[in-house]
Amino acid sequence: MGDVRGFLKVSRRKSDYRPACERVKDFKDVSLSRTDPASQEQASRCMDCGTPFCVWACPLGNYIPEWNDLMYRGHWQRAYGMLRQTNNLPEVTGRVCPALCEYSCVLGLNDNAVTIRENELAVIEHAFAQGLITARLLGKRTGKKVAVIGSGPAGLACADQLNQAGHLVTVFEKDDAIGGVLRYGIPDFKLEKSILDRRISLLTEEGIVFRPGVNAGVDVTQDELLRTFDAVCLTGGSRQPRDLAIPGREMDGIYFAMDFLIPQNRRLAGKMALEEGPTAAGKQVVIIGGGDTGADCVGVANRQKAGCIVQIELMPQPPECRTTAYPWPRYPLLLKTSTSHEEGGERQWSVLTKRFLGAGGRVTGLECVRVEFPLDPGKGCPVMREVAGSEFTVPADAVILAMGFVHPEHDRLLSGLGVEFDERGNVKTDARYMTTVKGVFAAGDIRRGQSLIVWAISEGRTAGHYIDTYLMGSTQLPRM
């Protein structure tokens, strides 16, 4: 390493954020870019670990110590070269990845971990700013055609890998723009869409054909896909939301999270009028679900000038620091306070929603009860129990269900192809990512269930490895 004592001299310092009172007035990026010298100083904290557990924790196997050392020394182009070997979308993971690697950083044993995610972002943004990233044009093609269905992180990663292997790749996306969940599911204050457009433009220049607004299975039939392409990869994600089947669910004013987030992204893109779709403006908003999607809904509701915001979660409040239940280097269950939470709103834990209250067919509130999770001696695990006498109501003009997703939508494409599903409703594959239909592969959330963007990229890369092997008999593509 460039400075083997860097971690003793420099303290962890994350990037700064725009003031909350300022950023809630728009949907621009909440963070402020770090200077290159500041990033190099933070990179100096990376230790000369005998075993870099950060690499073990990263689903992509990023060469973290190597590019930290290179950027510290000022070798930015070489640092980018190392990063590009394992990550197809570092400008995305550098912004929205939960940084599994940082929780396994060896320095985190007795100090604050290295700012790995922000260092990654510094490398890729420096590379773009300095013109180090140019289209990688191939002189020879294999003649094999591959269809990728879905243009989220798994689809883009898979398409990128297969395109670089020389295949002719066409990406089909049912939405009117490429990007999947990156395009319409993530708010702009976390991921501005110009970042996504920049990458898609590069992939297009490199030879990938994108066909937005084409619903595979409807606009192009499964028979056409199988007849036209030598292989098909399904990367449609996990879009079936988890519902809350309690009394009053049928009333107006209750929305799934994506039905709330997507319209706002479409408004910003100029594809939907301001008055169209659900809005939190002036309303008492209750968000059910305490995860990242719920936090995104808090941020959007704040920017839409909600009257008040309450976010409730069924599970108990997590601890603020690592406990013995999650020893290093495991990823711990910790209390996360996002920039959206800092902007306003109330959070409550251990709350079970019993019924929706309403008048005239529209929701007016929630009937809730406190719960606890005592250990069941017989089962040896916590069991949920309502706390007697803890019933209470929460007023609400709008309720947003942000409780995750159960499995991919079982649409005409999947039924038409005849792929089988596993016990959770995900597309079933073998160890080589092939479905029960020969030549049809699957990757990402559609295969493994709802997960992280970094896992989706890893899945797409792995699928590319096996598809190339299927088409050519061997491959030089990495397996993740």
Shortest CA distance to 233 belongs to which of 448, 418, 446? 446
Q: CATH no. for residue 466?
A: 3.50.50.60
- 40 and 65 part of one domain: yes
Residues 227 and 248 in one domain: no
pLDDT tens-digit readout, 112-141: 999 999 999 999 999 999 999 999 999 899
278 lies in some domain: yes
368 and 449 housed in the same domain = no
Q: What is the largest CA-CA distance in the chain?
A: 73
Q: Which residue has the tokens 């050392």?
A: 69
Asked if 168 and 210 count as a contact pair (C-beta separation under 8 A), the reply is: no
Same domain? 300 vs 446: no
Mean pLDDT of 319-336: 93
Task: With respect to residue 1, please indicate whether it lies within any of the assigned structural domains.
Answer: no
**Same structural domain for residues 21 and 55?**
yes
Measuring CA to CA, which residue among 172, 119, 162, 115 is closest to residue 141? 162
Q: Is residue 135 part of a domain?
A: no
Write down the pLDDT at residue 480. Answer: 86
Q: Last residue of a domain, which of 96, 129, 162?
A: 129
Residues spanned by the domain of 123: 6-129
Q: How far from 203 is each of 111, 207, 353, 364, CA to CA, in Å? A: 40, 7, 46, 48
22, 40, 120 from 36: Cα distances, Å: 25, 6, 12
Task: Examine residue 432 and state whether it is found in any structural domain, yes or no.
Answer: yes
pLDDT at 366 over 70: yes
Same domain, 257 and 335: yes
In a domain, residue 53? The reply is: yes
Same domain, yes or no, for 248 and 393?
yes
Q: How far apart are CA 402 and CA 347, in angstroms?
A: 14
pTM: 0.96
Residue 138 lies inside a defined structural domain of this protein:
no
Question: What is the mean predicted confidence (pLDDT) over 271-281?
Answer: 92
Q: What is the mean pLDDT of the chain?
A: 96
CA distances from 220 to 99, 170, 174 (A): 38, 13, 11
Using the 3D structure, point to which of 63, 96, 129 is the last residue of a domain.
129
Q: What 3-state class would DSSP assign to 66? A: helix
Together in a domain, 398 and 428? no
Domain containing 64 — which CATH number?
A: 1.10.1060.10
The residue from 373, 403, 433 where one domain ends is 403
Kindly provide the residue ranges of all beta strands, DSSP E only, lying in 32-79, ordered along the sequence: none
Mean pLDDT of 138-156: 97
Q: Per residue in 74-100, pLDDT tens? A: 999 999 999 999 999 999 999 999 999
Same domain, 279 and 373: yes
213 and 252 belong to one structural domain? no
Structure tokens at 474: 């061997």
Shared-domain flag, residues 439 and 379? no
Among 184, 167, 4, 199, CA closest to 84: 199
pLDDT category of residue 3 using cuts at 50, 70 and 90: confident
Interval 221-267: pLDDT, tens? 999 999 999 999 999 999 999 999 999 999 999 999 999 999 999 99
Say yes or no: 102 and 19 in one domain.
yes
pLDDT at residue 275 greater than cutoff 90: no
Q: In the prediction, which pLDDT does 1 show?
A: 62
User: 387 lies in a domain?
Assistant: yes
Closest listed residue to residue 215, CA positions, set 459, 416, 444:
416
Does residue 480 belong to any structural domain of this protein? no
Total domains in the fold of the chain:
3
Choose between 344 and 274: higher pLDDT: 344
Q: In which band, very low, low, confident or very high, does the pLDDT at 48 lie, cut at 50, 70 and 90?
A: confident
At residue 379 the predicted structure's pLDDT band, cuts being 50, 70 and 90, is: confident
Helix (H/G/I), strand (E/B), else coil: 256 = strand
